[in-house]
Amino acid sequence: MTESSTKIHNKNDKKRSLSKINNEEEESNDKTLISNTTITTSTAPTPITEDGQMPQKKFYRSRAHCNPLSHNNSFDYPRNPDRIDWSIDHYPNFVPTTTNTTTTTTTTTTDGDGDDNDDESTLVVPTVLDIGCGFGGLTIALSTLLPHETILGLEIRAKVTEYVRLRILACRTEDPGHYENCSVMRSNTMKFMPNLFHRGSLEKIFLCFPDPHFKKKNHPRRIVSERLLSEYAYFLKPNTGRLYTITDVEDLHKWHLEKCRPHPMFRELTEEECAKDPCVKAMYGETEEGKKVERAGAKKY
């Protein structure tokens, strides 16, 4: 009798414990639903970095390599260079000088009678490009080194572009009146340069530590080629425009020389000319990639 009652008692305990577990699971599910509902109906989260604050790189990391020959449908670009006003989003407070930061463009409008009228307007345009600007070290350094030029960093990766934009805004906030001549844009240089820049409008183009694309099948992705050199020559000012290249990969350096030296629109600068150019020193030491190479004790070409 005692043994039988004990078994019955044990069965009842098991039923009670199972019922208790089920009730706890239902309560937990209810809490989860309540929590999810709360998240759904809450306001949008605040951005990682507010405009004017210095961003932290750890929040804007991105893959080091990107295929410039694919995924190009996500870029906004004008039909032609006349359709972009750089002073609105890029250089709103920059006061141009009479040197070379303005250009005169002619826009044609048609009256109701069919006659064409030409209107001339003076606009602020980029004069120095930092192609593949990365986290913006050289772009910002060139802003103080070349105060009368308008610097534009071009970067294909969205997160990195946003980092540079916030970094420039933070520099402007910390040092009012400075860094107004530099900006950044997300774009693919291999595709959209003709949509953004006029012929002979650029003083300098920088190609610092570009992706080497080691595999032979990926060589068409390299930022230096016969076709692209012809484009760079088209946009650079005749006789005074300069193209700067630097890399820590010797094979890529040889590729650059192999493509640039025979090109009819370029000549290699002498060592004396390079020594007199302050931009060469900035190119060696101001980029994040250049600093990384220097810490590793590797060579730069």
Residues annotated as part of the active site: 211
User: Could you give the CA distance from residue 74 to residue 187 in angstroms, rounded to a whole number?
Assistant: 9
Counting Cα atoms < 13 Å in the Cβ hemisphere of 267 gives 7
**What is the amino acid identity at position 214?**
F
Q: Tell me whether residue 138 is exposed, middle or buried, using C-beta atoms within 10 angstroms of its C-beta: 0 to 12, 13 to 18, 19 or more.
A: buried
**What is the amino acid identity at position 158?**
A
CA dihedral 241, 155, 208, 234 (to 10 degrees): -20
**Buried b vs exposed e over 59-68: b needs ≥16 C-beta within 10 Å?**
ebebeeebeb
The residue assigned the tokens 């759904």 is 40
**DSSP reduced 3-state for 278:** helix
Counting Cα atoms < 13 Å in the Cβ hemisphere of 10 gives 6
